[in-house]
Amino acid sequence: MSACVAVVHQGLPCLQLRLGQGDSALVSLHGAQVLSWVAGGRERLFLSPRSVLDGRAAIRGGVPVCFPQFNQRGSLPKHGFARHRRWSVAQADPLERPATDGQVACELTLTSDADTLALWPHPFLARLTVTLSAGQLRVGLAVHNTGQQDFAFTGALHTYLAVDDIAAVQLRGLGGQPEWDAVSDTHGQAAEVLGVDGEFDRVYQAAPQALTLEEAGRTLRVAQSQGFEHTVVWNPGASQCAKLADMPADGYRQMLCVEAAQVYTPITVAPGQVWQGWQQLTVV
């Protein structure tokens, strides 16, 4: 039976989305973070086996929600506070919610409170919607300004894609897009085919078409909405991975982040208005 059910995963309250044909997704209430997406009998997201799942720390892997700040581009903690917070289930009872038209979805919300206002003085309501269909996962983020003044934010859906061997991966679809290489601090244009050799940390102007991640005859299509202006591609490489306490030394070999992001220019939301963006992953 296809459904969304409440489960506990290694002590974390989660929602599990299931389709009758076997695809599934696991979403933690901590951070509203997708931890797993199984499609075609294969795990498609990378979750570090050393991730700290204590309900307080940021989780390494899956799809972290970076809001209302990308990386360290501001005064907030790295990647903002949303990934450290407990989100609420939008519907009162997620148990046995049936799928419709071959899909099943869940919605989680985060509302400003005294703790968030002390860090970022803006009332807001954030809503994350995860939709599972056969061979496809869509993660949507909506940000509602519930205050009386404009606010601006940056952020990302910081997606960790699982790969067998990073050396064999090719990412296509960004060719010709403006590129900033954060490792060398240089600007240029993206190559038609991107491969990863060593530390890789680059920000691209988002392409109008979907990207394709290819490895060993397998293809994953990565599309994002126009709500996000940038695509970030990141792999720590061996040297940087060794410095990450929540990653195994060779963890960089099994992952590549392809993120729908807003990096340079903050998104401004007027009072009463809602911004929306999404990323969609499709097995080809």
The residues assigned a catalytic role are 158, 259
Tokens 């190559």 sit on residue: 191
Contacts of 52 (CB under 8 A, 6+ apart): 58, 59, 60, 246
Sign of the four-CA dihedral 237, 241, 247, 250: positive
Query: What backbone phi and psi angles, to 5 degrees, belong to 123?
Result: -70, 135
- CB–CB of 99/71 below 8 Å? no
Task: Locate 156 and state its tokens.
Answer: 């990302």
- CB–CB of 254/166 below 8 Å? yes
* Strand order across the 193-194 sheet: 88-89, 103-111, 124-133, 136-145, 274-283, 218-224, 211-215, 170-172, 193-194
Three-state SS at 103? strand
Tokens 């940056």 sit on residue: 154
Which region holds residue 52: left if phi is over 0, alpha if psi is between -120 and 50, else beta? beta
